[in-house]
């Protein structure tokens, strides 16, 4: 009888753990360039307020922002005043500090509203590397026709001239790694794509698809 009780408790604990795991937000890793290219809107803004809205089965947070600069999305929204996200982090809702920092915020537009979440690239502006800031300003858009191919384990290879091999997962145990912080995958005049790291010497500007 005692063993049955213990077994029942273990099964109950396992079910609880499985439920918690399924209830968590899960996002695929993404290079900042992919986040830029796949977003409708990319802005730098300061979050100045928030309000909880109950307009559905789950709560929605509406953040009020002071937009500093728009990098992408002029054709979608002329000026961003509000950003929407799920109230629950288990539903991939994102939390911003109020009246503290400037953020880089990316998201998609639906019914004229900007939505973002944990699976989008949202980061405090001062935490971005110089290369990431330059990428957001102009470099990333030069590579939106390229494909950044993740390499999770060796061996891995590029299979077309439009691919750059992303190896951060091998050397840095996940995002953010060196390529994410310092490289952009740019399409060259010849039509192929390669990593770009913006050094001063011309022979160091362009490197092959497997470097670093």
Tell me the binding residues.
25
Of 137, 115, 144, 142, nearest to 68 by C-alpha is 137
| Structure tokens given for 86 | 């799920």
Q: Residues annotated in the binding site for Zn(2+), as ranges?
A: 25
- Alpha-carbon dihedral 150, 184, 43, 26, rounded to 10 degrees: 10
Of 177, 146, 154, 151, nearest to 165 by C-alpha is 151
Going through 22-141 in order, the beta strands assigned E by DSSP cover 41-53, 60-72, 82-86, 102-110, 113-115, 123-124
What is the number of other CB atoms lying within 10 angstroms of the CB of residue 123?
16
Q: Are 7 and 110 in contact (CB under 8 A)?
A: no
3-state secondary structure 135-150: HHHHHHHHHCCCEEEE
Return d(Cα 8, Cα 107) in angstroms, integer: 45
Say if residue 29 is preceded by a cis peptide, omega within 30 of 0. no
């Amino acid at each position: 009888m005692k063993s049955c009780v213990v077994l029942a408790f273990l099964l109950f604990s396992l079910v609880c753990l499985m439920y918690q795991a399924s209830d968590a937000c899960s996002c695929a890793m993404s290079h900042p360039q992919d986040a830029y290219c796949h977003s409708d809107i990319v802005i730098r803004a300061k979050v100045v307020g928030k309000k909880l809205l109950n307009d559905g089965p789950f709560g929605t947070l509406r953040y009020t922002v002071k937009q500093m600069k728009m990098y992408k999305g002029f054709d979608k929204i002329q000026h961003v005043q509000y950003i929407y996200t799920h109230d629950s982090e288990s539903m991939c809702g994102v939390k911003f500090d109020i009246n503290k920092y400037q953020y880089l915020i990316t998201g998609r537009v639906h019914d004229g509203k900007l939505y973002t979440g944990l699976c989008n690239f949202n980061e405090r502006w001062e935490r971005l590397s110089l290369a990431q800031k330059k990428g957001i300003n102009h470099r990333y858009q030069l590579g939106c026709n390229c494909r950044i191919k993740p390499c999770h384990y060796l061996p891995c290879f590029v299979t077309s001239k439009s691919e750059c091999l992303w190896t951060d997962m091998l050397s840095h145990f996940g995002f953010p790694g060196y390529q994410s912080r310092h490289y952009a995958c740019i399409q060259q005049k010849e039509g192929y794509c390669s990593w770009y790291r913006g050094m001063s010497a011309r022979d160091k500007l362009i490197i092959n698809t497997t470097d670093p």
